[in-house]
Structure 1
Amino acid sequence: MNTIGLFGVLAGSAVAVALFLSSFFLSVKRKEDPQNLWLGLILLAIALRIGKSIFYFLLNDMAPFGLALGFLGLASIGPLTLLMIRHSSGFKWKNSWHFIIPVAGAIACFIVSPSPWETYLYMSATAVLFVYLVFSTLHLLKLENGMIKSWNKKVLIMVAGVWAALVYQHLAYSMMDYAWGAIIASVFLYWIFIQSFRTGVFPKGISATLPDQTVSQVRDAFENQQLFKEQGMNLQQFSARLEVPSYLVTRSVKQLYDRSFPETLNHFRVEEVKQMLLDPKKEHLKIESLAYDVGFASPSAFYAAFKKCTGQTPTAYQKEAELLSA
């Protein structure tokens, strides 16, 4: 096998691994934890960058298109990594400015190809990636210890390893050296794949044992801290407060209360309102006011949840309770 063929196999294997992991996190795990969206996009961006070389060396007629996609991927790795660490709750449009350079640079690569400017654009994007790595590391250090920080650290190590591989390729003097850059990137992609298994991202089955500490944290958050009373509380915010991955929170809630997370949230809120409806000290308060006090965002959401949990309206429940106590 010649050098170009060897490079194609090495780069192709790395792209295949990245695309497989990306599709898994974007399609299967995305609903469990918003951070999986970021990780899926990071892996997709890495796949585009490594795949660029396949277009460039094996599909020469499509080189401009491959260069544009490769730059888009390369320049997006840094912003996606930073946003994953800073914003676990999902994408916010105010952060769109981070992707001006990736989009503009991709268009420029397509227009100028073939030209020496391609190399300068790629080298600049690699330098910018280093800057994003620095800021991502600084934000990671601000996080408290926990499973989320541990996983973000692993992702950051992977991205740093890929960046080192890209720098090596920029310094390469031969095609074989360039191929070694692909090998380095592949090693870190396989490493994150293995880490995914070790940290339970690929669950072995629903019967897999949950950490006792995690289950205790979730119980305490509901029963003692009463996080359900906070306005707008959802699975992502709950997970971030506990620094526990969302999928573990979901499984813990199911084990503890045999309900989904939203059902459990509403159950605790309704139980609080039921107690307040029977409290003489709160009889002067409007029912809607009680609903807001326990975390419901609107009266309609409260009435629907109350009816689902009790089979009655709040007023009917209150009157029935008064008759029984008379």
Structure 2
Amino acid sequence: MDYTHLMVMASSLLLGLSIFFALYLFMDKRNRRYRIIRHLLAFILLAFALRIAKSVIYILFPEYASTLTSFGIVGMLAIGPLYWYYINAILVRLEINYWHLTPMLLVLMILPWLAHNGPFNIKHRILLFIYVFSLVHMLIYFVNGFWGIWKNRKSGHSGQYRKVQWVSKLTVSMLFIWIGFVMQAILKDRSFYILVTFGEALVFFGIAWVAMRNYGFIVKSTNRLLLGNLALKNIARNAITVLKKDKLYTKNDLSISILANKIGTNRHTLSIALNNFENKSFPELLNHFRIEYALQLLKDVNTNNLSIEAIAFESGFNSLSVFYSNFKKYNKLTPAEYRKKYSVIG
């Protein structure tokens, strides 16, 4: 028995163990509240298993390449949307828009027709085009996933931070497997193909293994889902109203705890509400309001006598350097340049 058979056997074993965990996610009935989130993770694992299993079977039965490629493409087109549903459910809120699955459903309708129509070279070109499309399709969802993770990285909630860590690891692992899919499409050497397939199965098993070890929180939604979208939305709106009232954001000792007390909630819930419905953390929102107020002062002819330092402290900043860095971040200009530019235009 050569190394080829050993790698195929090892890949099959790793796939089998991962599929077993996916089935466990379906069968677990301990908490029905999180059933959909468990099922989403299970579907992700099964979609990857379908695609990697295609590679394993292809090694053993290369004569069925066309049929196996079709099954693999279906799995790949399902991965992106399922991944998107899952990370949103666990980090933000459960929201499933089924139109994300449209490419997969279209391919499912096209493949039977393709199998029985047209010459082989035409079918091969169409399959190649769909395969490339499926790779781009997956990558788009991964990039959007990274952006969602980046926005939720500073929630201030320990449980949420663990979830961000988990989906970060999940995304990076899935990206490694995606690179394997690309390499399999480009390089035709059989030994290399087998090695890449084994690597995919190993990373895939790693995802399932980490998920099993952290089962207690990877299948639970964040508090945003438990509190309800409407309640959180109202908290975010109240926070904005209170901030604007009497220019509360200009108070240089304002903290998220003080604001939370004013609107009758706690700092963790307020942080979740702002990140979810304003797409900003509390410091980001506070700096936004302060910079907007500073812009008004710099443009107002009645405040031309105020120095830049005075405007910074009037806007609520404790440090001139912090004011300068935030101002330039928002406007790509220094306060002095902004004031000069406005006075020229005016």
Q: TM-score range by the shorter chain?
A: 0.5 to 0.7
Which residue identity lines up with residue 23 of structure 1 in the other structure? L
2:143 paired residue number:
134
Bigger proportion of residues as helix: 2
Shift of the alpha carbon at 1:184? 1.8
CA distance in 2, matches of 1:227, 1:97: 27
1:187 and 2:202 matched: yes
Identity of aligned residues (%): 20
Equivalent position of 1:45 in the other structure: 47
Q: Please give the TM-score of this superposition, normalised by the length of structure 1.
A: 0.55
Q: Residues 227 and 96 of structure 1: is their aligned pair in 2 closer, same or farther, counting only changes over 3 Å?
A: closer
| CA positional deviation for 1:42 | 0.5
Contact 1:67 1:109 (C-alpha < 8 Å) held by counterparts = no
Offset at 1:121? 1.8
The match for 1:31 is 32
Query: CA 1:200/1:41 → structure 2, altered by over 3 Å: closer, same or farther?
Result: closer
Aligned length: 217
Please give the alpha-carbon distance, in whole angstroms, between the structure 1 residues aligned to 2:23 and 2:269.
28
**Residue in 1 that maps onto 2:134:** 125
CA distance in 2: counterparts of 1:155 and 1:50, whole angstroms? 17
2:55–2:197 contact (8 Å) kept in structure 1:
no
CA distance in 1, matches of 2:106, 2:100: 11
Q: Is the 1:69–1:106 Cα contact (8 Å) retained in structure 2? A: no
- Paired residues of 2:77 and 2:134 also in contact (CA < 8 A): yes
Cα shift at 1:54: 3.9
The change in CA–CA distance for 1:55 and 1:199 in structure 2 (over 3 A counts) is closer
C-alpha separation between the residues in 1 aligned to 2:2 and 2:128?
24
Question: 2:201 aligns to what SS in structure 1?
Answer: helix
SS in 2 for 1:79: helix
- State the match for 1:153 in structure 2: 168
Offset of residue 127 of structure 1: 1.9
CA distance in 2, matches of 1:28, 1:86: 21
List alignment gaps of at least 5 residues for structure 2: 233-267, 273-346
Distance 1:194 1:69 in 2: 25
Deviation at 1:66, TM superposition (A): 3.3
Letter paired with 2:83: T
Following superposition of structure 1 onto structure 2, how do residues 1-40 of structure 1 map, counting pairs within 5 Å? 1=1, 5-6=5-6, 8-28=8-28, 31=32, 33=34, 34-40=36-42
TM-score (norm 2): 0.52
State the SS of the aligned residue for 2:32: coil
Q: Shift in Å at residue 43 of structure 1?
A: 0.4
